[in-house]
Structure 1
Amino acid sequence: MPDHSAKPPKLLKHILPWKAGVLTGLTSGLVLGFFLKAIQTYSGLKVYTLLLNIDFVPWLPPTLPEYIEFVLHLIVSIILGILYIWWIQRSGYPISKGVLIGALSSLLYIPLSQLSTRVPDLFDVKAILYWLAGHLLFGVAVGVCGLVWRHNQKGDPPFRHE
């Protein structure tokens, strides 16, 4: 009978950060996308359109179906998730680094708002605040995923109920 409590092979340890990075990026990208979609639906501010906007990419058609644009957004989120897991694997502090990634990625509002006429203006304060809130939520989601991953690596439960 195989011993299921045995440690995973060394090769598996190198694969798990990739898997954790993909799951982190996918989860946080979905959180951000659904949040901004809800904001745009209820407020009319085109922050979700801004998130998915690809007007400026020369080798892509000017408009694509929403689901393809959303998949492109998730690919970017997954890349960030993989880089993030690699980063915290080496230096810790998952929550603060996740929030930092969210805050820094919110700065994309500045160039993205200038690249299309279909998105909010550079000085639309409400849109900026929703965009910032969404990206901070993204950062918290990234951080929580990283926290769970770190605790799983140690064999601890990530949240203790005492």
Structure 2
Amino acid sequence: MPEHLAKSPNSLKHILPWKAGILTGLTSGLVLGFFLKAIQTYTGEKVYTLLLNIDFVPWLPPTLPEYIEFGLHLIVSIIIGIFYIWWIQRAGHPIAKGVLIGIFSSLLYIPLSQLSSRVPDLYDINAILYWLVGHLLFGVVVGGCGHLWKHSQKQDQKGDPPFRHE
């Protein structure tokens, strides 16, 4: 392979870390989805329906099978995960930034609750609280994944295996 195309393993760690971002988004998206599904199942609050709601996307039908809607949710989570890993790679503080992403993503309740009659009302306090808790959980999971990734990067740079137990 020509030298200009060959990259050392160390230089590859400084580009956008696709695997870490995908795993972060997938893990946090699954946790959020299953949490809100459980809340909706046990309380009747339509927070999972709100999470998967696509009524407002003009080029999609108003309802799709749940697994496709959940897949779309995971795609958004993966995009967030990739952005997040890129962000902490440059600025650090993975847990704080993860929680910040959870807080900011919870603000989507405001516009999303206005876009469909199938979802909770803007002033449904119980739904808002479940949504906030779910998105804080999402942020904590994002932050935890980022913390693990940053820790493994430090260990790789030292040459030690990550998470070595003595």
**TM-score normalised by structure 2 residue count:** 0.87
Q: Does 1:127 align with 2:119?
A: no
Gaps of 5+ in 2: 1-7
Q: 2:73 aligns to what?
A: 73
Please state how far the C-alpha of 1:140 moved relative to its aligned partner.
Answer: 0.1
Instruction: Give 3-state SS (helix, strand or coil) of 1:154's partner.
Output: helix
Q: 1:3 aligns to what?
A: none
Q: CA separation in 2, counterparts of 1:72 and 1:121?
A: 23
Q: Map residues 3-22 of structure 1 onto 2, 5 A cutoff.
A: 9-10=9-10, 12-14=12-14, 17-22=17-22
Query: Cα distance 1:118–1:147, how it changes in 2: closer, same or farther (>3 A)?
Result: same
- Look up the equivalent residue of 1:102 and give its one-letter code: G
Query: Cα distance 1:160–1:143, how it changes in 2: closer, same or farther (>3 A)?
Result: farther
Query: Cα distance 1:90–1:14, how it changes in 2: closer, same or farther (>3 A)?
Result: closer
Gaps of 5+ in 1: 1-7
How many matched pairs?
A: 155
Q: CA separation in 1, counterparts of 2:113 and 2:131?
A: 11
Q: CA separation in 2, counterparts of 1:160 and 1:143?
A: 21
Give the percent of matched residue pairs that are identical in Structure 1 and Structure 2: 83
Q: Does 1:114 align with 2:114?
A: yes
Q: CA separation in 2, counterparts of 1:71 and 1:9?
A: 32
Q: CA separation in 2, counterparts of 1:121 and 1:159?
A: 46
Query: Cα distance 1:92–1:117, how it changes in 2: closer, same or farther (>3 A)?
Result: same
**TM-score normalised by structure 1 residue count:** 0.89
Moved over 6 A (4+): 156-162
Query: Cα distance 1:16–1:83, how it changes in 2: closer, same or farther (>3 A)?
Result: closer
Deviation track 1:46-81 (CA, whole Å, cap 9, x = no partner) reads 000000000010000111000000000000000000
Q: 1:148 aligns to what?
A: 148
